[in-house]
């Protein structure tokens, strides 16, 4: 199965761009080049899958895209702004304002209701209680969990927990959703449900999605696939 929408036209603005990005860990003989001159562009509205074996550089690239790390060389542009020139606080502000994150592990607070889990990013933004509750309810509705607001993670299936995690990621209305193996802890049927949900969010909410996956079947939902190997984009 593939995504239900066509990829953005070439006229769509470039949201994120790597220009000859390198990332080196360590020094001297112990230096390890995780990224080796990577160029890539992702346009607003795209759904892109990233694949590659362990150690290929895809996780390092995601950390840089998520403003959790910075390049050793080259430039990372977000909406035309060179991210590596920003201060730590400015990068944190960019991350909170424009980015949403979904992980293989759902990372939910176990003793907290679904609604309160989804509200959490808005608490950090100091959004008034009534507004953040309304936005959290709306986000849960978008992922098909209307009526499940008061359930804790322990009362939800794995697929439902991932839906809560996705609602938490989109409640801030991000420009870019970074999904790291979002179906990795789910069975095949629940995995396809999550992929259909992400496809719908990309189509209906115009959220740009960049997803790391090791599952070729899940990658077919994306508009295109970027392959990493040995720190480089191979196709």
For 81-93, write each residue's pLDDT tens digit: 999 999 999 999 9
CATH number of the structural domain 14-233: 3.40.50.300
0.75 cut: is pTM over it?
yes
For 142-152, write each residue's pLDDT tens digit: 999 999 999 99
**If pLDDT is split at 50, 70 and 90, which confidence band does 2 have?**
very low
Give the pLDDT score at 7. 59
For 53-69, write each residue's pLDDT tens digit: 988 999 999 999 999 99
For 176-188, write each residue's pLDDT tens digit: 999 999 998 899 9
3-state secondary structure of 68: coil
**Whole-angstrom distance, CA of residue 164 vs CA of residue 29:** 45
What is the overall mean pLDDT for the chain? 92
Give the pLDDT score at 11. 75
């Amino acid at each position: 199965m593939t995504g239900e929408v066509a990829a953005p036209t070439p006229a769509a603005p470039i949201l994120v761009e790597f220009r000859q990005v390198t990332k080196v860990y360590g020094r001297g003989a112990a230096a390890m080049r995780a990224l080796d001159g990577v160029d890539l562009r992702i346009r607003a509205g795209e759904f892109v899958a990233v694949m590659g074996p362990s150690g290929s550089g895809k996780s390092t690239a995601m950390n840089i895209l998520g403003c959790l790390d910075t390049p050793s060389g080259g430039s990372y542009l977000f909406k035309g702004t060179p991210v590596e020139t920003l201060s730590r606080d400015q990068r944190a502000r960019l991350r909170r304002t424009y980015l949403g994150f979904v992980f293989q592990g759902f990372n939910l607070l176990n003793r907290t209701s679904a609604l309160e889990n989804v509200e959490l990013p808005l608490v950090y933004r100091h959004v008034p209680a009534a507004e953040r509750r309304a936005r959290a309810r709306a986000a849960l509705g978008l992922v098909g969990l209307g009526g499940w607001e008061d359930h804790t993670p322990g009362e939800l299936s794995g697929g439902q927990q991932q839906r809560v995690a996705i609602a938490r990621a989109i409640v801030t209305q991000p420009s870019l959703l970074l999904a790291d193996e979002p179906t990795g802890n789910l069975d095949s049927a629940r995995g396809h449900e999550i992929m259909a949900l992400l496809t719908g969010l990309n189509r209906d909410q115009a959220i740009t999605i960049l997803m790391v996956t090791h599952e070729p079947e899940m990658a077919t939902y994306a508009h295109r696939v970027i392959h990493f190997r040995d720190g480089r984009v191979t196709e």
